[in-house]
Amino acid sequence: MKFSTRANMIQPSATVAVSNKAKQMIKDGIDVINLSIGEPDFETPDFINDAAKAAIDSGKSSFYTPASGISELKEAISERIKADYGVMYSPDNISVAVGAKMALYTLFQVLTEQGDEVLIPQPSWVSYTQQVILSGATPVMVPTNNEFKITPDSLDKTVTKNTKVLILNSPQNPTGTVYSRDELTAIGNWAVMHNITMIADDIYQKLVYNDNQFVSLVQLGDQIAASTILVNGVSKAYSMTGWRIGYIAGEPELIQKVNAMASHSQGSPTAVSEYAAVAAFNSDQSAVESMRIEFEKRLNTIYPKVNALPGFKMEFKPQGAFYLFPEVSEAVKLTGSKNTSELVERILTEAHVAVVDGAAFSMDNHLRLSYATSLDDLETAIQRISDYLNQFVQ
């Protein structure tokens, strides 16, 4: 069987691969703590499950829905954006996708083609580069500062006449960094000046800690907002990763193209998930806040412990999402590992803790661990890593 050039170019998701290996070890009876996957450990709130059950019982989930999503959901998203962002997108300016990942994939298919370049901060989520490659365009990594943030200066060094799109994720996976209003304004004005479309991946919007404030590009005035496409969803904030509902908010012409693409790809979002998402967006958000508080507690508890691990170093404390991204070059040397990949493998096989090699996020000498699991498991995992590393300390 001969495969396409496209299929042969794509690399499997490293985060999924590590998580699958950890799950297999657990299935084989090995006591592994999985800190590799970006998935909240909370169950979906009962009121959301109840809305899904009601949709099933009333027959609403038996049939195809529109490719762009049911009107009730687009209206709920419109109202949620207004409440959370203070800006208005009509339901006609919104398209629902099978997860925020599919929303991003569709956008790259609609916006880019061979010869185009897409600017991506380094480090960044693993699927951005692969999705850009699938569109035929070229991913271009933008260097970041010691807080893992891009700036107009770093953008000036990477922009070319072929640059078409800039994607920005704040709070960011894998680092937990959060951009300030002034930082985003500078980036937004730069993109407007260069006629570059921005994608604001705000999937971690509600997960910001310790009095830090979330700001989105779409909140920074008409010019910047008009150049920005908003992507968000229910997976992280509402603990609904398995429900697969994301959305795109943007200009009418864009949404028309997105809907046409969706009609031939995803077909339509899953009906029962759409009705569950309506309940999530229309809720008082207290369930979201309860989970946010727990994530904040975990961050504040484990950050100093991870930073104290032999050979681990973090120059700043994450402000959002649920990841730590320590620099581990000294730990690589300490353990005699050839590289971070080998260190990660040793931590899994010898300490029985699953983490992800930073190379998956386009940054060597780092690893990512998720604190989207119980505090007891997190503390046990850190102790296991500590015990493993301290074997090599003289």
For residue 367, give the H/E element and its range: strand 367-370
Predicted pLDDT at 274: 98
**Could you read off the pLDDT of 117-175 as tens digits, one per residue?**
999 999 999 999 999 999 999 999 999 999 999 999 999 999 999 999 999 999 999 99
pLDDT, position 19: 79
Instruction: Give the pLDDT score at 180.
Output: 98
Per-domain residue ranges for the chain? Answer: 5-44+287-390, 65-283
Give the C-alpha separation, 77 to 281, whole Å: 6
Q: What is the mean pLDDT of the segment spanning 202-211?
A: 98
Percentage of the chain exceeding pLDDT 90: 92
pLDDT, residue 140, reads 98
| Burial bucket for residue 58 (CB in 10 Å: 0-12, 13-18, 19+) | exposed
pLDDT bracket for residue 306 (50, 70, 90): very high
pLDDT at 37: 85
At residue 14, does pLDDT exceed 90?
no
pLDDT(13) > 80: no
Task: Specify the CATH class of 5-44+287-390 in words.
Answer: alpha beta
Q: What is the pLDDT of residue 242?
A: 96
- Which residues, 6 or more positions from 199, have their beta carbon under 8 angstroms from its beta carbon? 104, 107, 165, 166, 167, 168, 228, 229, 231
15-42: average pLDDT? 87
pLDDT band at 106 (very low <50, low <70, confident <90, very high): very high
Q: pLDDT by residue (tens digit) across 45-97?
A: 999 999 999 999 999 999 999 999 999 999 999 999 999 999 999 999 999 99
Mean pLDDT over 35-51 rounds to 95
How many Cβ atoms sit within 10 Å of the Cβ of residue 87?
15
Which range, 2-6, 18-22, 244-248, has the best average confidence (pLDDT)?
244-248
Where does the pLDDT of residue 263 fall: very low under 50, low under 70, confident under 90, or very high at 90 and above? very high
Sorted by sequence, the CB contacts under 8 Å of residue 359 that are 6+ apart come out as 14, 340, 341
Q: Pick from 31, 9, 11, 10: which is nearest to 22 by CA? A: 31
Residue 101 has pLDDT above 90, yes or no: yes
5-44+287-390 and 65-283 have identical folds: no
- The highest-level CATH class for domain 65-283 is alpha beta
What does the angle CA 272 – CA 19 – CA 53 come to, to the nearest 5 degrees?
Answer: 15
Beta carbons of 171 and 203 less than 8 angstroms apart? no
Cβ contact 280:83 at 8 Å: no
pLDDT confidence of 276, banded at 50, 70, 90?
very high
pLDDT at residue 232 tops 90? yes
Q: How far apart are CA 217 and CA 184, in angstroms?
A: 6
pTM of the predicted protein model: 0.96
> How buried is 284 (Cβ within 10 angstroms: 0-12 exposed, 13-18 middle, 19+ buried)?
exposed
In this predicted model, which residue has the larger pLDDT, 14 or 303?
Answer: 303
319-344: average pLDDT: 97
pLDDT band at 9 (very low <50, low <70, confident <90, very high): confident
CA distance 249 to 120: 20
Model confidence band, residue 6 (pLDDT cutoffs 50, 70, 90): confident
Which position has the token pair 């971690």? 204
- For residue 208, pLDDT over 80 is answered with yes
- C-alpha to C-alpha distances, 328 to 21, 312, 340, nearest whole angstrom: 22, 5, 7
* Residue 22 pLDDT exceeds 90: no
What value does the mean pLDDT take over residues 225-235?
A: 98
For residues 224-235, give the mean pLDDT: 98
